[in-house]
Amino acid sequence: MLTSGSRRAFLKTIGLGAAAAAIPGVVSARDKGADRPNILWLVSEDNGPFFGCYGYKNAVTPHLDQLATEGILYENAFANAPVCAPARSTIITGMYPPSMGTQHMRSKNPIPDKIKFFPQYLREAGYYTTNCSKTDYNIARLPKGTWDVCSGRGHWRGRKKGQPFFSIFNIGTSHESCLHRGAKPSSQDPAKVELPPYHPDTPEFRNDWAYYYERITQMDAQMGKLLADLKADGLAEETIVIYYADHGGVLPRSKRFLFDSGTHVPMIARFPKKYAHLAPGKPGTRTDRLVSFIDLAPSMLSLAGIKIPDYIQGEAFLGAQAAKPRDYVYLFRGRMDERYDFARAVRDKQYKYIRNYMPHLPWGQHLEYLWKSKSMQSLWKEHLAGRLKGAEKLFFQPKATEELYDTKADPHEVNNLAGDPKFSKILQRMREAQIAWAVDIHDIGFLPEAEFLTRAQGSTLYDLARDPKKYDQAALMAAADVAGARDAKNLPKLIAMLGDKDSGVRYWGAIGCLSLGAKAAGASEALTKALGDSCPNVRIAAAELLCSMGKGDKALAVLTEALGHSNVRVGLHAANALDHLDEKARDAVDAMKKAKGDGYTQRTLGWALQGLGEKKAPSAKKPRRKKK
């Protein structure tokens, strides 16, 4: 009997055809006559496990609760990213976006041709593949051959007689945008909603929570309709059904953030009797097995009896090629729309470790889309009025370099244990797991976005991350560690880093000084020299700190000049720096009003100008499309 590890090695050694004969359930993609299950994915948007079957008191979710009684409920399922596009990039490729350069929101970078969207393998094996209809894969070009139908018309009903299908239905009812309208709930009582400790008890929060639960109930009904259609078509006993949400969310401190509120997702898998041998448990059972989105692609290939490509980084948790249960899931956070950040996280069944590589930035950076909800506006208002208390304050405070949470004792993750000696061994174990993962996947996040786009020079970021001549990951990770420590004793090291031959190391030298703020006064000379650095990201970070120190004569000009850079991500970095400076950016008001840049840059500058009591110049607004 082959173990999961030896099975993968065996497949690699003897090739696809022999593997089909050697291992039951693993068949050649050319063997289109094999009896394989239909697979139906039901996907909701922007919701954690706010269902009755997960124990939530406000939940009214009869259809998904029923599905849980018929299937296996996953208690520890996680999105690798707490926001849609990077999360979906993970799902469709079976690859970690930081290993491909697709970790930043709406980055649209190319990936190598060898990395295919996994439904293509299903289609080549004879499956009818449909997607109804969201893509949002955060990748420049969608490869051909993935779908038979990818539109609002995508449905299993279009397949040939007897053809197995893989169909996705994406329901957006619970998406964050539902809170932008400020609608009132009709079936939920805001007074009875239970608020997490990091949300102030305001009418806006109670109303948004109540309405959000109402939208989840509506989504549940839509899922029920699809399940009823499957049964009416006589396909329920031929089809494996998998439901999950695309990440957590959506109220403040959930979507976009690495806490469980942003990454813990509901997941339920139902297997008909015909395919009970593929199920990891009996109907109505629960499992605490750790699974994450990186594992979905290989698991679907395994269920369909298709060899998992060697490049895929996920591990199957279903089917003949299932691996042993994983010890950790790995999470990441990069740029969220117009705001830069860089954090990685590791989660086991009990503990969450977060490594903040830019701890000087608060979690609560202004994001135009996030600020559209009444609850977020309420949180900001309470913050400005000084009325937040306890855990409510955390959102707008600088982050700790390391965070460690006991998610069983502290499910809302508000008590950071990283500094507690009693948890030092756990902290070290989780820290080592995060570092090992970053090395293993060739995490390209240790270069700023504008710089890695420059270095790629026509190649993919996947290839750049694996080229030690262009990307010295060990040196960059070491530099990031020094910068993120926020220790004034490291100032001599940071000054030395500003003179390094690698622009990435110089960048971390500047970021480290910026993190220290006034404690980096001794680096003024090196920072002034850095204003002429060949790397714009170094110039911007140095200029921001010098301006904050009141030495902005030349530094402010560096920032305003960068707004017009041909690389739009340079302009965005400069816009963020100007916003951080508040009143010390006053002399740049005219330049900010005249700046072009992309939509993200415009949003950031608009917020900066609003903080200075200014209005954005009409000429700088995004032009409206002319009617045809």
For 572-613, what is each residue's pLDDT tens digit?
A: 999 999 999 999 999 999 999 999 999 999 999 999 999 999
Q: Cα–chain-centroid distance for residue 237? A: 34
| Active-site entry in 84, 132, 150, 547 | 84
Question: Which residue type, as a one-letter code, is found at position 565?
Answer: H
Task: Band the pLDDT of 623: cuts 50, 70, 90.
Answer: very low
Q: Report residue 544's pLDDT band, with 50, 70 and 90 as the boundaries.
A: very high
Query: CA 198 to CA 177: how far, in whole Å?
Result: 21
Alpha-carbon gap, residue 103 to 99, rounded angstroms: 8
Residue spans of beta strands (DSSP E) within 172-276: 239-245, 264-270
Domains of the chain, first to last: 1-31 (no CATH), 37-326 (3.40.720.10)
pLDDT given for residue 10 in this prediction: 33
- pLDDT of 29: 45
Q: Residue 145 has what pLDDT? A: 95
pLDDT mean across residues, the chain = 93
Q: Is the pLDDT of residue 615 over 90?
A: no
Beta bridge pairs of residue 616: none
Look at strands 343-347 and 128-132 and give their pairing: unpaired
Q: CA distances (Å), 63 to each of 311, 418, 468, in order? A: 37, 41, 51
Local confidence band at 222 (pLDDT 50, 70, 90 cut-offs): very high
Burial profile 178-206: b = 16 or more Cβ within 10 angstroms, e = fewer: bbeeeeebeebebeebeebebbbebebbb
The stretches of 423-502 forming alpha helices (DSSP H) are 424-441, 449-456, 461-465, 473-484, 491-497
- Does this model's pTM top 0.85? My answer is yes
Q: Please count the other Cβ atoms lying within 10 Å of the Cβ belonging to residue 615.
A: 10
79-111 pLDDT, tens digit each: 999 999 999 999 999 999 999 999 999 999 999
Distance CA 102, CA 137 (A): 9
pLDDT of 288 reads 98
- Residue 270, beta-bridge partner list: 241
Q: Does 15 score more than 70 pLDDT?
A: no
**Mean pLDDT calculated for residue range 432-452:** 98
274, pLDDT greater than 80: yes
Q: How far apart are CA 370 and CA 180, in angstroms?
A: 9
Bridge partner residues of 332 (DSSP): 344
Q: Is residue 84 annotated as part of the catalytic site, yes or no?
A: yes
Average pLDDT over residues 204-225: 98
In which band, very low, low, confident or very high, does the pLDDT at 31 lie, cut at 50, 70 and 90? low
Q: Is the pLDDT of residue 305 over 70?
A: yes
pLDDT, residue 32, reads 52
- pLDDT at residue number 626: 39
pLDDT tier, 34 (very low <50, low <70, confident <90, very high otherwise) = low
CB neighbours of 420 closer than 8 A, spacing ≥ 6? none
Q: What does the pLDDT read at residue 378? A: 98
Q: Quick one: 566 exposed, middle or buried, by C-beta within 10 A (0-12, 13-18, 19+)? A: exposed
Burial of 359: CB neighbours in 10 Å, binned 0-12, 13-18, 19+: buried
Q: Mean per-residue pLDDT for 29-38?
A: 68
Out of 140-144, 213-217, 508-512, 524-528, least confident range: 140-144
Give the pLDDT score at 564.
96
pLDDT at 21 exceeding the cut of 60: no
Q: Is the pLDDT of residue 4 over 70?
A: no
At 463-512, the pLDDT tens digits run 999 999 999 999 999 999 999 999 999 999 999 999 999 999 999 999 99
Based on DSSP, count helices (H) and strands (E) in the chain, helices before strands: 21, 12
Mean pLDDT over residues 185-192, rounded?
A: 97
Yes or no: say if 283 and 250 are a contact pair by the CB < 8 Å rule.
no
Helices 536-548 and 568-581 meet at what angle, rounded to 10?
10
